[in-house]
Amino acid sequence: MNTPRSNTPDRSEELFARATDLIPGGVNSPVRAFKSVGGAPRFIASARGATMTDVDGRTYIDYVGSWGPMILGHADPEVIEALRMALERGTSYGAPTELEIEMAEEIIDAVPSIEMVRMVNSGTEATMSAIRLARGVTGRNKIIKFEGCYHGHGDSMLVKAGSGVATLGLPDSPGVPAALARDTMTLAFNDAAALEQTFAEHSDIATVIIEPVVGNMGCVPPREGYLQQVRSITEKHNALLIFDEVMTGFRLARGGAQQLYGVSPDITTLGKIIGGGLPVGAYGGSREIMEHIAPAGPVYQAGTLSGNPLAMTAGLVTLKRLRDSSVYERLERAGAHLCQGMTEAACAAGVKTVTNRVGSMWTTFFTDEPVTDWDSSSKSRREMYGRFFHAMLEQGIYLAPSQFEAGFIGLAHTDELLDQTIAAAHKAFHVVMNHQQQAAVQM
């Protein structure tokens, strides 16, 4: 799958050097910089199906999938054709379209807790708006989030966040006002007792925001009954519960994690898949809550490109394909096959790993302890992951360039591609083990 190197200079390295003079860190989103795994990032020229090809002509089996939305695969023919037709009608109007109504109908039909929905342009915008809405509805200011959960780069959310913040070793961000940080309380994921205790100590909590399945400290699922406990505690104290389903929405089930686990939040944030790979976000909830949003109510939020006809077009094609429940059965089988193969490959090489998976989201951690929260996730051997990442990359497998990001499987990942990945993992784990043994001898 990986095209052999030529004798010409590596154009990705040349482009990265050029980019660092023009763009902070050489990238427009931090994790892309390969900072935690080392080396220069691959600059991508094109993608199709389950593969991407870089500017040097190397092709990779892709498990990043633009961080989740490419569930149908890259450049899906139906999506591309629909976009081609939409482009001929214009790219943006700044006025209502029927497509926005169709998207709202599709989301409301799929997600159990949503009766009304507002489109925005990104997951960050969705979570910022959802938190503002929760504060506006309750008249309270404090919010609770969880260590290792990343809800975008809004000021209130950059307190002990996961994902890129953890990758770069930045537990908080300069530029976040101290007053905002004081209104954000951060607790351990999967610890219901800590949540109950915090509510007992504070009476002014507006909302709890949570990734129901965490994707931003690697894939970390909730313990059995945990989400139900979170729901019960928030209801008891009249605080609103926000499920950040930017990653899990339409990914784990058509109705997202809330359908999978049978828990209804007050507000849901969505993104990624609902734009079919184009920039998009959304937040929704009950009619009573959502009618607080302007112009129906006093909580203001607006966006010129919200409901953009291109994003709505690509998203509708994607979501209509996901009406078929067999899609999720296929993804479950593919996820189980890949992760079992990864575990067996690690064992064969003598490398201790734990692979977490929910449906088509997964992460292999370099640890021998269960990974259930940020503390256990952060014990994963990042240097081992970095060696594994590059060993896989050399064999044409593109994984997330961070230990603290989930991987994603799509419908374009055939059994043949999954088997190629497992075969590559056997070799890569041996590379990791050989390095460990050499390091032990030198000590």
Nearest to 58 by CA among 113, 126, 5, 114: 5
Q: Which residue has the tokens 């200011």?
A: 141
- For tokens 């695969």, what's the residue? 73
Query: Are the C-beta atoms of residues 29 and 164 closer than 8 Å to each other?
Result: yes
- Taking only Cα atoms into account, the Rg of the chain, rounded to an integer number of angstroms, comes to 22
CATH topology of domain 11-63+325-442: Aspartate Aminotransferase, domain 1 (3.90.1150)
Q: What is the pLDDT along the chain (443 residues), one digit of tens a residue?
A: 444 444 445 999 999 999 999 999 999 998 899 999 999 999 999 999 999 999 999 999 999 999 999 999 999 999 999 999 999 999 999 999 999 999 999 999 999 999 999 999 999 999 999 999 999 999 999 999 999 998 987 766 666 554 444 433 344 567 777 777 778 899 999 999 999 999 999 999 999 999 999 999 999 999 999 999 999 999 999 999 999 999 999 999 999 999 999 999 999 999 989 999 999 999 999 999 999 999 999 999 999 999 999 999 999 999 999 999 999 999 999 999 999 999 999 999 999 999 999 999 999 999 999 999 999 999 999 999 999 999 999 999 999 999 999 999 999 999 999 999 999 999 999 999 998 888 777 76
Token pair for 62:
């892709």
End-to-end CA distance of the chain: 37
Domain 77-321 has CATH 3.40.640.10: yes
Convert the pLDDT of each residue in 28-57 to its tens digit: 998 899 999 999 999 999 999 999 999 999
Half-sphere exposure of 440 (CA within 13 A, CB side): 6
Known catalytic residues are 150, 244, 272
Indicate whether this model's pTM tops 0.95.
no
Within this chain, domains 11-63+325-442 and 77-321 share the same CATH topology: no
| Among the listed residues 287, 296, 144, 304, the one whose alpha carbon sits nearest the alpha carbon of residue 210 | 144
Residue ranges of domains in the chain: 11-63+325-442, 77-321
